[in-house]
Each structure stands twice: as C-alpha cells, then as structure tokens.
C-alpha cells in the first residue's frame, strides 16, 4: 500500500528557505512520478510541480519557477521540495502525491491517486 509522509514545514521569515520531505513507503519512489501541491486557506488545492521517473521537472505554477525545485533521493526513497525566497503568499499546507504514471501530467491537475497528510508552511515576519 502506498504511503506518503510530508515533513519539514514550519514558520519562516519572508526571503527564507525551507526543504520539505516526502517519504514514501509501500512502493519505490523512483518508479512513479511525484508532485507537490499546496492549499491556502479558502482556496483550492493547486499543483506546483512534478518530477517524472526520468527526473524531468514540470512546473505548473509560474509563481514558484526559479524559487522551488523538486528532487529525489533514491536511497532514502524520498522526494524533496526545496523552497527559496519564500513569500507570505506561499503560506499554505503543502502536499505530495504520486500516481501510477511515469511521466508528469502535461497541465496542472490534482488527479493523483495517493496523497500525504500535508505539512503547514507559514511565511511571516
């Protein structure tokens, strides 16, 4: 059974950085594409970016390009989200998700089969 656990969220000042982790169990993270998503209060969940099994990154939100990167540690079976130059508008619950696919979707979608529980990121001074 696929199980994902996010960690690494917290309170950070504007301009700061955080690295979120998405630890996978029940499957090998390198076998399926994994995406990161976020949901701010009162807003719909949005797709941010995705990493394919061939290590290609697809961005779905222009506001995170150049600031957020996704990577994978095969040995740790973990996918990371490195977030730099954080802004107050990045405040949200961040989720990772995976599905039985090798390539990332061509456009933004939350149609992924397995989700973690989310981790809160708050950007505030």
Q: What was the pLDDT predicted at 23?
A: 94
Instruction: Give the mean pLDDT of 86-96.
Output: 98
Instruction: Give the mean pLDDT of 85-89.
Output: 98
* Closest CA relative to residue 74, chosen from 25, 117, 30, 105: 30
At residue 8, what are phi and psi to the nearest 5 degrees? Answer: 105, -5
User: pLDDT-derived band of residue 109, with 50, 70 and 90 as boundaries?
Assistant: very high
- In the numeric block, the tokens 């061509």 are attached to 106
| pLDDT, tens digit, 9 for 90 and up, residues 20-40 | 999 998 777 667 899 999 999
Q: What average pLDDT is seen over the chain?
A: 94
User: pLDDT-derived band of residue 93, with 50, 70 and 90 as boundaries?
Assistant: very high
Note whether 10 and 86 are within 8 A (CB): no
């Amino acid at each position: 059974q696929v199980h994902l656990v996010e960690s690494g969220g917290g309170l950070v000042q504007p301009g700061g950085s955080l690295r979120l982790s998405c630890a996978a169990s029940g499957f090998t993270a390198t076998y399926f594409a994994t995406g990161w998503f976020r949901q701010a209060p009162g807003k719909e969940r949005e797709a941010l970016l995705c990493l394919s099994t061939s290590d290609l990154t697809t961005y779905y939100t222009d506001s995170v390009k150049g600031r957020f990167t996704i990577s994978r540690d095969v040995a740790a079976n973990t996918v990371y989200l490195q977030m730099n130059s954080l802004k107050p508008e990045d405040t949200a619950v961040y989720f990772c998700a995976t599905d039985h696919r090798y390539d990332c979707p061509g456009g933004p979608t939350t149609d992924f089969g397995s989700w973690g529980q989310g981790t809160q990121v708050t950007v505030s001074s």
